[in-house]
DNA sequence: CGTGCTATTGACTGGACTCAAAACCAGTGG
DNA sequence: CCACTGGTTTTGAGTCCAGTCAATAGCACG
């Protein structure tokens, strides 16, 4: 049976919450009943601009979006990536203020969910308030890790870490198969994630490829040697706060090895 | 009348919460009644180690502490600084797991507050749950800004931004006078905040001093030209989510100018 | 007046950036 | 079917900001 993008995205969101916060049936149903209209954004378009006054969160239904900051010289730094099931803007429930701009790295569908509806959910269900809070903290833990990468690691390591992280996150939503996941990001965009230039990103990826750690054709990233890649990136799954990450990672590795 | 360090720190914490979240009298009293024992840590000692199993948050009563990550090669990156009144570890209420290590940059007094007591407060008072959540998000906004700094700014700009941020934060707790605040951090530690080496931090600070933007003797930092320093650091107070930052910043500038 | 830490400075190196050209690739339309 | 187009990737050559190594100076403390 066909279900709409809103329903589908809300299920992904509920799943995401439940990986870290157990929800009662009532709470889960309340999440699934959230209102919201789907919007389509083409690649390389902003979903939320800095000057905008947004009164809604953006639930990613499809595609890849990134929060970012823009500097005076035009350079850009992504401060977070969001894949299907991610709710962007829960933080604004607690910190209304200037919106954090959001960019569609590839063609994306987002569901605009009124902030008021989320606030009501948090007010009515203590379990959901906790789940939202926890979700925010999980995102926050990722930002902290990105800071460590940008501040103290070299190019190869930063990219290795990014790939490990995204592999785990795509795996969690069932989008990793046989050690491969689809990552629709240009090298220019990747540069803005890890704090490098696209040229240097290109060279660094090449070395990873030449060392037999990854394969990367078109938008498909295959992780050929998870252990080595994780070692180079000093990737430790703990900060993602998935349940039994180790199990998943192992499965991933075995899948591609077989 | 003399009051203990616990009481004093709890008042600072309550003040901090109230700058962003209005609290009822009951809620404020509940915060002030939190249990906890003071601990003293000398400079350059870890308050929380990575392998440690902590069941408490650390309320900074006095001094300067920093959360950090350590890499395989021994290099370190601070992911947050904490000054008196900051409650370190509220995030762990929602994300129990491996502790984030905490370092005493200078001699510090922290109050160890049992996590269970904080959990009870959040469970019993929806207003406090929101205040804690909001407090977490405020910290998180700072981390995101640090990421932008480390990822996309040059040395001078990173340091200028850090100084602006800390000036605002010290001002909020009443520790900025006549454009001067005390910042007990070595250049080595500053390097680990902004993702540089201590040598380069030294050189960059020198240029700021030579340009007449700051004075820095011992641990006392004087901001001589706030506008210029903020411009170099591309510092925009919004992310700190203080009430009327602009007013404070202006006061600061006027104070030092007179 | 040592001792140890921190700040400062110099000389040199190197990883990442810049500029620029070429190759690749997916559409698109003639 | 193929030339054309615009975006992206790849590669090369040269530069520069920040890192490294190392020595000196300054300062607090005993």
Q: What per-residue confidence (pLDDT) applies to A3?
A: 73
In degrees, rounded to 5, the angle at the alpha carbon of residue B143 between the alpha carbons of residues B141 and B145 is 75
User: Does strand C come within 7 Å of the CB of B44?
Assistant: yes
Q: Which residues of B touch A126 (CB under 8 A)?
A: 123, 126, 129
For residue A169, the distance in angstroms to the closest alpha carbon of chain B comes to: 17
B137·A71 Cβ contact <8 A: no
> H or E element: which one contains B48?
strand B45-48
Is a pLDDT exceeding 60 seen at residue A256? no
* A69 and B CB contact within 8 Å: yes
**Residue range A28-51, pLDDT digits in tens:** 999 999 999 999 999 999 999 998
Mean pLDDT taken over chain A:
93
- Residue A197: phi and psi, rounded to 5, are -100, 160
Residues in contact with A185: Cβ distance below 8 Å, sequence separation at least 6, in sequence order: A64, A105, A106, A193, A219
**B120 part of contact set with chain A, CB < 8 Å:** no
Model pLDDT, residue B42: 95
List the nucleotides on chain D closer than 7 A to a protein CB.
Answer: 7-13, 17-22, 28
CB-CB neighbours of A238 under 10 Å? 13
Q: Which residue has the tokens 């909001």?
A: B134
Read off the tokens for B135.
């407090």
Chain B contact for A148 (CB, 8 A cutoff): yes
For residue range A182-227, list pLDDT tens digits in order: 999 999 999 999 999 999 999 999 999 999 999 999 899 999 999 9
Cβ distance B152 to A94 less than 8 Å, yes or no, reads: no
pLDDT by residue for chain B (258 residues), tens only, comes to: 557 889 999 999 999 999 999 999 999 999 999 999 999 999 999 999 998 999 999 999 999 999 999 999 999 999 999 999 999 999 999 998 889 999 999 999 999 999 999 999 999 999 999 999 999 999 999 999 999 999 999 999 999 999 999 999 999 999 999 999 999 999 999 999 999 999 999 999 999 999 999 999 989 999 999 999 999 999 999 999 997 544 444 444 444 433
Any chain A CB within 8 A of the CB of B129? yes
pLDDT tens digit sequence for A134-157: 999 999 999 999 999 999 999 999
Residue A81, pLDDT score: 98
Reduce the secondary structure of chain A to three states and give it as a string.
CCCCHHHHHHHHHHHHHHHHCCCCHHHHHHHHCCCCEEEEECCCEEEECCCCCCCEEEEEEECCEEEEEECCCCCEEEEEEECCCCEECCHHHHCCCCCCCEEECCCEEEEEEEHHHHHHHHHHCHHHHHHHHHHHHHHHHHHHHHHHHHHHCCHHHHHHHHHHHHHHHHHHCCCEECCEEECCCCHHHHHHHHCCCHHHHHHHHHHHHHCCCEEEECCEEEECCHHHHHHHCCCCHHHHCCCCHHHHHHHHHHHHHC
Please, which contacts does A204-208 make with residues 24 or more away whose CB atoms are closer than 8 Å?
A: A204/A155, A204/A156, A204/A159, A205/A159, A207/A156, A208/A156, A208/A159, A208/A160, A208/A232
The residue of chain A nearest to residue B136, with distances taken between CA atoms, is: A137
* pLDDT at residue A88 tops 50: yes
Asked whether B76 and B100 are in contact (CB, 8 A), the reply is no
Flag if A95 and B137 touch (Cβ within 8 Å). Answer: yes
Q: Least CB-CB distance to B137: which of A91, A141, A151? A: A91
Distance of residue B220 Cα from the nearest chain A Cα, in angstroms: 26
Round to whole Å and give the CA distance between A158 and A192.
12
Q: What is the pLDDT of residue B2?
A: 57
The tens digit of pLDDT for each residue in B204-252 reads 999 999 999 999 998 999 999 999 999 999 999 999 999 754 444 444 4
Measured between beta carbons, the chain A residues lying within 8 angstroms of B143 are 140, 143-144, 147
Q: What is the pLDDT of residue B254?
A: 40
pLDDT value, residue B244 = 56
Indicate whether A251 pLDDT > 90.
Answer: no
> Which DSSP helix (H) or strand (E) runs through B56?
strand B56-62
Residue of A130, A161, B158, B25 whose CA lies nearest to B166:
B158
Q: In terms of C-beta density within 10 A (0-12 exposed, 13-18 middle, 19 or more buried), how is residue A165 classed?
A: buried
Predicted pLDDT at A243? 75
Nearest residue in chain B measured CA to CA from A91? B137
Span between the terminal Cα atoms of chain A, in Å: 34
Q: Which residue is nearest to nucleotide D18 (CA to C1')?
A: B200
| CB within 8 Å: B148 and A77 | yes
The residue among B94, B99, B196 with the most chain A CBs within 10 A of its CB, best to mutate, is B94
Give the distance, in angstroms, between residue A195 CA and nucleotide C20 C1'. Answer: 22
Q: Which of A76, A129, A148 sits opposite B79 (nearest CB)?
A: A148
Question: Residue A2's pLDDT is what?
Answer: 57
Q: What are phi and psi of B56, to 5 degrees?
A: -150, 155
Which bases of chain C come closer than 7 Å to a protein CB? 5-11, 15-20, 26
A202 touches strand C (CB under 7 A): no
When pLDDT is averaged across residues A65-75 and rounded to a whole number, the result is: 97
Cβ within 8 Å, pair B150-A151? yes
Q: How many CB atoms lie within 10 A of CB B135?
A: 22
Give the pLDDT confidence score for residue B176 in this predicted structure: 95
């Amino acid at each position: 049976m066909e279900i709409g993008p809103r329903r589908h995205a809300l299920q992904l969101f509920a799943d995401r919450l439940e990986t870290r916060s157990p929800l009662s049936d009532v709470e889960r149903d309340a999440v699934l009943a959230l209102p919201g209209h789907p919007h389509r954004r083409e690649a390389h378009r902003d979903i939320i601009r800095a000057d905008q006054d947004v009164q809604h969160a953006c639930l990613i239904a499809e595609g890849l979006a990134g929060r970012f900051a823009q500097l005076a010289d035009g350079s850009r730094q992504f401060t977070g990536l969001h894949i299907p099931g991610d709710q962007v803007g829960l933080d604004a429930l607690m910190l209304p203020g200037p919106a954090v701009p959001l960019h569609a790295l590839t063609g994306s569908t987002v569901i605009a969910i009124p902030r008021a509806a989320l606030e009501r959910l948090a007010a009515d269900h203590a379990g959901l308030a906790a789940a939202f809070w926890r979700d925010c903290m999980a995102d926050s833990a990722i930002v902290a890790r990105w800071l460590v990468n940008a501040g103290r690691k070299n190019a190869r390591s930063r990219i290795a870490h990014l790939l490990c992280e995204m592999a785990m996150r795509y795996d969690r939503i069932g989008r990793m198969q046989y050690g491969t996941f689809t990552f629709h990001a240009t090298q220019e965009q990747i540069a803005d994630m890890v704090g490098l230039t696209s040229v240097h990103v290109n060279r660094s990826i090449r070395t990873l490829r030449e060392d037999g750690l990854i394969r990367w054709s078109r938008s498909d990233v295959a992780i050929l040697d998870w252990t080595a890649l994780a070692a180079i990136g000093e990737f430790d799954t703990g900060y993602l706060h998935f349940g039994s990450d180790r199990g998943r990672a192992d499965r991933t590795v075995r899948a591609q090895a077989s």
